[in-house]
Every structure is written in structure tokens, then in C-alpha cells.
Amino acid sequence: MLSKLFLSFFVTILIISPSLASAQDIRIRFAKGRTSATMTGRVGSGGRVCYFASAKKGQSFNATLSSKSGRVAIFETGETSYNYVIELSGDQSVCVDNMGGAATYTLTVSIR
């Protein structure tokens, strides 16, 4: 009985773990005195990588995404640029979503 329970638990973990690893959260660190940062990365097929940065109400958040090796988009919109005026101070996010096979990308974020 105990071995069946252990086996069931192990199989459940194997099934769940790929979905847990499909999204990453990365803090954006701006160089001292800079208002923009450029990150490069890799996102697996159907995966998502999210970036976070602290900003204040009234600032502009701009993100630009490019990839030479795949179909990536910001927030599954199909768009490669994203901008808005921050309404609430705190962490702001932008996610790179992969709409195809594994891809490398470059993401530039500015907060002014």
C-alpha cells in the first residue's frame, strides 16, 4: 500500500514539474543612473519568462522585444512593444511569451 502511494506521488510530481518550470520571474536591475536595461534570454517552446521592476505612479513603462530565432511576443498579444503610464507605485511586470519552438530574445525595458 505504501509503495503504491509513493509511486502515485512520484508520478504526480513528474507530471506537474514541467508546468512549474515553464515560467520564470526575473528582477530587472538598472545600472546606477540608468532608466533602461536590456536583457537577453531563452524561452522554451510554449514557455513564458516574466520580468519585474519597481516604478512610481506617473512614470512611463516601455518594453521592446526582438528575436531572430522564434516567435515571441509580450503577454501573448503578438506585439513586440508595450508601453503604459504607471497608475500604482510598486512592481511592474512584462512577460515574454513563446508562440512557437524554443527561442532566444532581447528585451529592453525603460522606466522614465
Alpha-carbon span 49 to 76, nearest angstrom: 12
Residue showing cell 536590456: 38
Strands (E), the chain: 23-27, 36-43, 48-55, 60-66, 72-74, 81-85, 90-98, 103-111
Q: List Cα–Cα distances, 99 to 69, 71, 75, in angstroms.
A: 12, 5, 10
pTM reported for the whole predicted model: 0.78
Angle among Cα 32, 39, 89 to the nearest 5 degrees reads 60
Domains with residue ranges and CATH for the chain:
23-111 (2.60.120.380)
- The pLDDT tens digits of the residues spanning 57-75 come to 999 999 999 999 889 999 9
So what's the pLDDT on residue 52? Answer: 97
Q: Which of 10-14, 36-40, 64-68 has the lowest mean pLDDT?
A: 10-14
